[in-house]
Amino acid sequence: MKYSFKIFSVFGIPVELHITFLVLMLLIYIVAFFKIIPSINLLTAVLITLVFATVVIHELSHSYLAKRYGIRIERIVLLPIGGLSEMEEIPKDPAQELRIALAGPVSNLVIALISYIVLIIFGSFLSIVLSGALYYFIIVNLLLGLFNLLPAFPMDGGRILRAFLAERMSFIKATKLAASIGKQFAIIMAVIGVFFNFLLILIAIFVYIGADAEYKSVVVSTLLGDEMVKDIMTTDVHTLTPEDTVQETLKTMFREKHMGYPVTDDGKLVGIITFDDISKIPENERDMLIKDIMTRELILSDPNEDLVETIGKLNKNRIGRVPVVKNGEIVGIVSKTDITNTLQKKELKLD
């Protein structure tokens, strides 16, 4: 994830802090130190820090169990909305996913229980302020644990529900049903939020988007997991030369209705030109050659590359197409349209 930096590692898993999280914590401590908001003091700031520490423990609980099952964890990123464990893959074994999903909420409930025992035993020795702070810490952990058990992605409850359903149907159908339940849950939450609390509407939006993203991610990884680039790439590729002018290229784009073309020189791929590149050129300068404005730093794919890996390149670099190259020569091109068409055909077979 962009704009995050590593702060430490646990179990060999890098824990990173997103810049927005750092800004938030700095603001909280500045507000507390200078008493800008009377209700937020240094003790409150420390408590908020401890809450985020429990978020780390929550995510590490997921990650530790996932590692035990042989799943590689890329990293854990701390965001203002909580933590995010980046797993290499989603466990397809329902029993494994169930245990991994439960590990996070259980860790919060265990922390709440331990804190409650400490409060019972040592409460009489603590000041009213510290007792109140510990009580607040218990409540927060209980809420975090229970909230994450709600049956909706991206919360752990959505994964628990999918694991339960996956014992009775295919993984992708279980994901579709769990995501649908999550979306309905989000709609109900938003309606309640209209009448009671605006924050519920924001959470509902987060849940709805998360459920949709989870389903799409599983569809891609499941339906296209065995596909290679050569299976869906377009092999009849129209290429341009570095000596073509901007005006000529623009006419080609309008005529053939393609917004990007590979540029080759003696059969070798040397660049790519897109409508976005051309649209920046003033009309009176469109006699210039495309070699002067084409993109030379290329994101490429190989015919034998896994299609899911290529999709990752498209999404990461926010591009619409990737040239497919073998021995320096272009042999095809893969676009988001090709991928979407392939997905739609496979989804129809499911139904």
Catalytic sites, residue numbers: 59
Question: How far is it, in rounded angstroms, from Cα 321 to Cα 301?
Answer: 10
Amino acid in the structure at residue 321: R
Q: Is the peptide bond before 105 cis (omega within 30 degrees of 0)?
A: no
Query: How many other C-beta atoms lie within 10 A of the C-beta of residue 1?
Result: 11
| CA nearest neighbour of 217 among 178, 256, 249 | 178
Residues 6+ apart with CB under 8 A from 149: 105, 155, 156, 157, 160
- In 157-193, which positions are buried (b, 16+ CB within 10 angstroms) versus exposed (e)? bbbbbbbebbeeeebbebbbbbbebbbebbeebbeeb
Question: How far is it, in rounded angstroms, from Cα 244 to Cα 241?
Answer: 6
**Backbone CA torsion sign across 179, 181, 183, 189:** negative
How many residues make up the chain in this entry? Answer: 351
Q: Which two tokens stand for residue 191?
A: 């309606």
Question: How far is it, in rounded angstroms, from Cα 292 to Cα 298?
Answer: 15
Asked if 240 and 261 count as a contact pair (C-beta separation under 8 A), the reply is yes
First-last CA distance in the chain: 35
Strand, helix or coil at 324?
strand
Query: How many other C-beta atoms lie within 10 A of the C-beta of residue 20?
Result: 14
